Every structure is written in structure tokens, then in C-alpha cells.
Chains A and B, each alone.
Chain A
Amino acid sequence: MASAMPWLRPGAVYALVALLLLWTVAPVAWIATMSVQPEINYVSVPPRLRVEQTSLRWYAATLAEPEFVAALRTSTIVATATMLLCVTLGALTAYPLARLNVPHRNLYLTLSVTARMVPAMILIIPMFLILRGLRLLDSHLGLIIVYTAFLLPYVIWMLKNFFEQVPYALEAAARMDGCSRLGALVRVIIPVTAPGVVATAVFAFIGAWNEFLFGLILSTRVAVPVTVKLSSLVSTTFHSDTSLVAAAGMLALLPPVLLVFVLNRFIVRGLVEGMKY
């Protein structure tokens, strides 16, 4: 890049990266700041942040709210289950699409994404009716099924592309060594494409975690996801204190961020060492 654009010195590159980072991180940093400061400090102009007034009491207060904790738990359960289900079903679907001579596989692949082109808003009434018929309204399982249905096509596409990159001979070697096709998938293809599979899993988790619309309509009391709870907190319980809302927001942010941090090391390891097939 430096040679193609000589005016772009390494220093300038770092400055650009820093600017981009500021752009994405600043709002989060601001919420983080809000969550540990009294409201008066950051609503005044200019803001006057006081280190000696920094406190975690808003976090304590948020975590003392049973409904919010229940929502966190719901989202964790639903997102984790959706992620596992998406990767399992996705791998089992993507493998034959990538490897076997499945008739009409392009038609299937096209249909699966075309279905996703319909705006979610339009599907919400039929979804509601279906879940009501199944007696799955306001349940973890109901949300898991709906989220999986929505994320699975993307997961299949992503995994199919990763699986296609695995040389045929690697799978043939596994089958010669004693694996069934399923065994070769589990013991060789998935481990070899682990960085891609992990990235796909994270994608599914975040997709399920951040979902709002379906959670709002399909859940009322028992299985309210944290995104929905957050929005209701803004207007009800926490109306008096913005710091509480900020702390709740930070807590809602934590699980996906933690997941990415834990798995990112794994992804990076795969990338750094390189997948030499």
C-alpha cells in the first residue's frame, strides 16, 4: 500500500486506523463511562467526569433487578442454543451441498437465501400464529426455533464455502483410515476449517443475541431477551437514572464480547499458523 500510495506513510496509516477505532469504540467507551459516573457529571456541559465519584453501584443495582437478570439468562440460553443448533444443522446441510452430488443443490441454496429476502416484519404475524399453535409463545424453545430458522441459511452458505476449500483427498484419506462420511466431517473437515466454523458460530450467536423484533412480539414475561428488556427498562423502572441504563447496556454487551475474546484467540491462531492442506 505504501508503495502504491507513497503519500501514505506508516504513520498516516496508524492515524487512520486510530481514527476508525475511535469511531467504533467511542460510543461504547462513552456508555462505559456513563455506567460508572453519576448522571449529573456527564449531562452537564461540558461534562465533568470525576474519578473519585467512579462507582460500580449502578451495576450492583442492575444485577439486583431479577427481571433484568432473567433476561440476561434468557438471551444467553437462547443465543447459545441457537448457535449450537445452527452450527450442527448447518454443518450437516453444508457438507452434502459442498461435497456430494446433490440434485438441484443450487436451487436449494438460492431458495434458502431468497426466503430471507422477505422483511421480518411481514413474517411476524404468521410466526406468532405458528408458535401459538405449537404453544411455544413466550418460551426459550420458541425463540430458539425462530432464530435458528432465520440464521440457518446464512450459516449454511458460510460453512459450505469453508468446506468446499478442504481438498477432496483429505476427506478421502480420512475415509481410507476408517472414518464414515460423518466421521470424516467431525474428525477432519470441521477441525481443519475450525477458524471458519468458529467465526460462523460467533456470527450466529451475535445474530441471536442482538435480535429484537421477534423477541418483542413472541415473548411477554417468561422468555424476554435482554434486548427487549433493555428497551423496556429505559421507559419504566430505570427512568430516573441514565447510569442504570448504561450499566444494563454494558452488561448486555458483555457476553458476546467475552465470546469473541475467548474465541478470537482461536481464530487468530488458525489464521497465523495458516491452514496448509
Chain B
Amino acid sequence: MSQVELRGLSKSFGPVHAVRDVSLDIPDHSFVTLLGPSGCGKTTTLNMTAGLERATEGAVLLDGKDVTGWAPHERGMAMVFQNYALYPHKNVFENIAFALRLQRRPRDEIERRVRATAEALELGALLTRRIAQLSGGQQQRVALARAMAKEPQVFLFDEPLSNLDAGLRTRLRVEIKRLHQQLRTTSIFVTHDQEEAMILSDLVAVMRDGVVVQYGPAKEIYRRPSHLYVATFIGKPRMSLLAGRLRASGATAELVADGLRLSWPLEAAPPPALAGGEREVLLGVRAEDVRLGPPGGADGDSFAGEVELLEPLGSDTYVEVRRGPHRLIARVEPDSAPRLGETVGLRMPWARLHLFDAATEQRIN
């Protein structure tokens, strides 16, 4: 059980800066996800944490101790890889036992620990199998078992579910979550799948171009994205955006977009960023925060549009509405979904809007 601290980690490969000044506090027992598209530096950050790659700058602290120069196995960490990385020349038992054998543990202890871990992951019947005889899902469970048998202080996961088909991915995702709830071992999980990140994590670090854009509780990342990039990366369907000029005057805020004029009564003081009068913004709204109703509402914060696309998912239906150049997605109950081509009224409550500066793309409300 340990706390990990990354302090100003950077990694350059020649002129390429893969990771730039990444600092993260990973509390004891927590499950932290590094989330971002491929090439954003998340795996490199994980490898530096593991000691597999040397940091160009910065430090890795484990329970306050600087372990930056330590060999990977000295850090008490275990890693699960995307391609499983099982030893093909060893059977399941020997794969799980490998680290324990290298630690020169007594024979009976190795036997006991391997069997216990295998039982926990329902691998008991497969211990004598060769790796090539296992399915992808079984291989990844063996990889989990191999990591668990070491009883590490920290688990590192490098996109462990990416190579599995959708059904298996969902099942193993649950299994990883259950394991973490049981073991409470500090875990760092790398993925490009935002759904995985939301489901598994206590804390999420969203990365782009080697930099952490936002780090916080999963819920906050979703509810209050600090940057347009985070807002559009997280959430399914993607957050709808309206570009326009926003003005706060007195007790109302007014948005003028291409062919559209919307206004909201302000209950509290406007955000300080709007104090300077007009401002070019991107206004974001999530599908669940858009209300559909009959067209022609007199209120300033609603407008009419035409239903262009319906995406019924069973539990919900996503409705894509078009108004001039603007497109918004709303989530509705399947029974109250409008028809294709129908004109509907849209309403977006001020409290649920995300405002980003058009130039800096930073959140301003």
C-alpha cells in the first residue's frame, strides 16, 4: 500500500518531447487513470514510473522516497501489459511464479501463493497449460495473476483491455474494479478509452501532447472540464458546442451566434471572466442537459431546430438537432423521442453550460 508522487517528469527522445513536466499525486489506495489519445505520453509516463524508462528530468517518489534511479523490480510495482507479455516458453504456473522464483522464495510459499492467486482469478484448472493454448481473455487473467502474486505496492496497467473484444473487455473491467476494491492496492491505469477511465477511476489525469491537461476526480473531470479538450474528449456522445459572442449585462447573459440569439437570466453574479463585456466563446452543453420541448417557447434560452438524426440506444435516444450551421445533441427517453424532420424546441439551463474562451480554450465559468 503506497502513495506515488510524480514530480516534474519529462522525457525527450532526441528533439521529441514525449512527456513534459508531469506532476501527479497518487494517494494511497487510489485508482488513478492516465487518459488520452495514442501518442499523448501516457505510456511513457507509466514506464518512467515503473523504471522501465529513465526520466530526462523529474523524480518518482514512492511513500516519500525518491526511487527515480531504482531498477524496476526494486520499486515493488507490478505491471499488466496491453499484449499480455506472458512468457511463451513457460506454462501458466511458471508465468505466475517467475517473479517469486527470482526472489528466491521458499518452494512451498511459491506453490501456495501461485495457487491462491490462480483460484482468485479462476485459473486453477489452467495452471499446467502452455500460454499458446489460452484465449486472449485467459491470457490477460494470467497476466493479472502474475502481477497479483507478487503482492506489489503499486499496480501499473498499460491499456490491458485494448486487445480484447467488447464483451470480454467489459467483464475484465469489472474484474479489475472488484480486485481493486478487495485489495485496495494503489493502481495507475493507462487507457485511451474514456468510458474505462470513468468506470474504474477515483482520479483521472487527462493528457495531451505529453502534458497533463486536467487532473481530478472522475466526476469533476466530467462535470467541470477545465479545458475544451477535456470537455470534448470525455463524455459520450461528444459535448455539443456553439461558437459565438457572449455578453453579460446586468442580470442577463446573451449569446450571439451565427443566426441565433440566446439569453439567460443570471441568478448569481456572472463569472469574472465575463466582466469585461463581450467575449468570443465556445459554449458547450452535454446531451443530458439539453431539454427538448415543443417549438416556439417565448423564453430567451430556447430556440427551435429540426431533428436531423435519431440514435436509439434502447435505454435512451440521442436526438441530433440542426439549426442553421449549429448542431446539438439531446438525450431523451425513448418514448418521448421526436420524429425525424420534426421541428422541436431546445432549452439549455445556464447552470449546466460550459463556457470556454474561443482563443485559449480554457474554461471561464
Contacts and interface: CB of A to CB of B under 8 A. Distances in A.
A170 B87 contact: yes
B132 A274 contact: yes
Interface in A252-277: 273-277
A167 B83 contact: yes
Interface string B87-112: 11100000000110011000000000
A52 interface: no
Contact of B87 (A183, A188, A273): A188
A193 to B, nearest CB: 10
Interface in A210-268: none
Interface stretch (B16-24, B70-78, B196-204, B265-273): B70-78
A276 B87 CA distance: 9
Interface stretch (A90-98, A124-132, A142-150, A173-181): A173-181
Given A192-B89, A273-B132, A178 B103 contact: yes
Nearest to A277: B88
Interface in B274-327: none
Given A179-B102, A274-B132, A276-B132, A173 B85 contact: yes
Interface residues of A, number: 22
A273 B146 CA distance: 23
Interface string A117-160: 00000000000000000000000000000000000000000000
B351 to A, nearest CB: 46
Contact of B71 (A172, A180, A274): A180
B89 A176 contact: no
- Could you tell me the dominant secondary structure of chain A's interface residues? helix
Interface residues of B, number: 27
Contacts of B132: 273-274, 276
B89 A191 contact: yes
B149 to A, nearest CB: 10
B260 interface: no
A172 B85 contact: yes
A191 B89 CA distance: 7
Given A177-B73, A191-B89, A169 B103 contact: no
Contact of B79 (A172, A192, A276, A277): A172
- Could you tell me the dominant secondary structure of chain B's interface residues? mixed
Nearest to A194: B89
Interface in B233-284: none
Interface in B112-137: 130-132
B81 interface: yes
A192 B50 contact: no
Contacts of A169: 81-83, 85, 158
B85 A179 contact: no
B354 interface: no
Contacts of A274: 132
Contacts of A175: 52, 71-73
A170 B84 CA distance: 8
A177 B89 contact: no
A127 to B, nearest CB: 40
A170 B158 CA distance: 13
A276 B131 contact: yes
A277 B89 CA distance: 9
Given A173-B81, A273-B132, A178 B87 contact: no
B150 interface: yes
Contact of A176 (B52, B82, B130): B52
Contacts of B52: 172, 175-176
A177 B98 contact: yes
Nearest to B53: A172
A260 B86 CA distance: 30
A180 B74 CA distance: 11
B73 A178 contact: yes
Contacts of A194: 89
A61 to B, nearest CB: 47
A178 B79 contact: no
Contacts of A178: 73, 99, 102-103
Closest 4 CB pairs of A and B: A178-B102, A169-B85, A177-B99, A178-B73
14 contacts: A172-B52, A173-B79, A173-B86, A174-B98, A175-B72, A175-B73, A176-B79, A176-B99, A177-B73, A191-B89, A192-B88, A274-B132, A276-B88, A276-B131
